[in-house]
Amino acid sequence: MRTLEEIYNSLLERKATYTALEVLDSTSKVAIWRNMLWVFAFLIWTHEQIFASHKQEVAKMIEEEKAHTPRWYRTMSLAFQYGFSLLLDSDQFDNANHSDEEIENSKIIKYCAVSESEDESRLIIKIATESGLILQPITEEQKTAFEFYISEVRDAGVQTTVINYLPDKLQLFFKIKRDPNVLDANGVSILKGNEPIKEALQQFLKELPFNGELVLNKLVDKLQVIEGVINPHLITVKTAWIDPDAGNYGNFETIEISKIPVSGYFVIDFENSDIDYVV
């Protein structure tokens, strides 16, 4: 917001652009034309103060009366700072006397998706952190702190459930017709010595947005462009996710067309997958 002095100086600059006003050249602080500019500046300053106050009042009314959207809850989740306290009657953290690095390191929620429950009035908040570019859940202690934070900033009456699971597992079953001049019987590149099919599958999951829909046709498309792959035939894809009651993975279920991960993200269970390379 501009100060009275800044407004007055801006009027002086504006006056200097009019050649007809060059005769008003007195340097005296009590010159009539200077006093008039001070009056105009004061009126403008008062006007801007009134509008600023009105803007704050409107913003407060919106904040207090309007129910927040799922997008707002996602923003607030990503803004969570572990180890920091909230300012009194605020959804902002007290960052006084903390460095930018400390503040950034405290933001442990790296991925978040918020949606409405299909069978009850409740928001589902899926979260994950990251370590070495690998997605993973936050600790139970961190989750407790996060849930307390959400209970403090959420709208009154809004029920929330925090999903902080290990990734959904994927079992992939492919039969891939290969070019024997490019890929050996184990899917290894003869020229480069890497496994391009497995690398492409991993890359596909990295490119999938958090809580994004896994579409099987797109998974096949990812393999069709790999050098040495003639025809990638998808037999089936199965998935399993954490059973919150049992505390472990439930039974694997077949994905028919597409699937949104319960945890928000997938990991490929290569040990129990089967990729058969044929000529």
**CA–CA separation, 57 vs 50, rounded Å?**
11
**CA–CA separation, 145 vs 138, rounded Å?**
11
Radius of gyration of the chain, Cα coordinates, nearest whole angstrom: 30
**CA–CA separation, 57 vs 64, rounded Å?**
11
- Residue 159 structure tokens: 């029920």
pLDDT in tens, 193-206: 999 999 999 999 99
**CA–CA separation, 127 vs 147, rounded Å?**
11
**H or E segment and range at residue 204:** helix 196-207
Burial of residue 215 (number of CB atoms within 10 Å: 0-12, 13-18, 19+)? middle
Residue 235's pLDDT is what? 96
Share of the chain above pLDDT 90, in %: 70
76: left (phi over 0), alpha (psi -120 to 50) or beta: alpha
Residue 64 confidence (pLDDT) above 70: no
pLDDT in tens, 30-61: 888 889 999 999 999 999 999 988 888 887 76
Residue 22's pLDDT is what? 78
Residue 34's pLDDT is what? 87
Q: Give the count of beta carbons closer than 10 Å to the beta carbon of residue 142.
A: 18
Residue 259 amino acid letter: K
pLDDT in tens, 245-260: 777 898 999 999 999 9
| Section 95-102 average pLDDT | 92
Residue 20's pLDDT is what? 81
Q: Do 178 and 230 touch, CB atoms closer than 8 A?
A: yes
Cα four-point dihedral sign 142, 147, 152, 153: positive
Q: Which DSSP category does 88 fall into?
A: T
Mean pLDDT of the chain: 91
pLDDT in tens, 133-156: 789 999 999 999 999 999 999 988
Q: Which of 44-48, 52-56, 73-77, 222-226 has the lowest mean pLDDT?
A: 52-56
| Section 206-211 average pLDDT | 92
Spatial CB neighbours of 208, under 8 Å, sequence gap ≥ 6:
214, 265, 266
- Which pLDDT band holds residue 19 (cuts at 50, 70, 90)? confident
Instruction: Answer whether 0.85 is exceeded by the pTM.
Output: no
| Section 124-137 average pLDDT | 91
Q: Which DSSP category does 247 fall into?
A: T
- Which pLDDT band holds residue 244 (cuts at 50, 70, 90)? confident
Comparing CA positions, the residue from 105, 102, 145, 103 lying closest to residue 127 is 145
Spatial CB neighbours of 276, under 8 Å, sequence gap ≥ 6:
174, 175, 176
**CA–CA separation, 146 vs 126, rounded Å?**
12
**CA–CA separation, 236 vs 174, rounded Å?**
7
Residue 99's pLDDT is what? 93
More confident residue, 53 or 66: 53
Residue 45's pLDDT is what? 92
Residue 67's pLDDT is what? 67
- Which pLDDT band holds residue 269 (cuts at 50, 70, 90)? very high
Question: Cα torsion for 2, 3, 5, 6, to the nearest 10°?
Answer: -10
Q: Do 240 and 169 touch, CB atoms closer than 8 A?
A: yes
**CA–CA separation, 62 vs 53, rounded Å?**
14
Q: Give the count of beta carbons closer than 10 Å to the beta carbon of residue 267.
A: 17
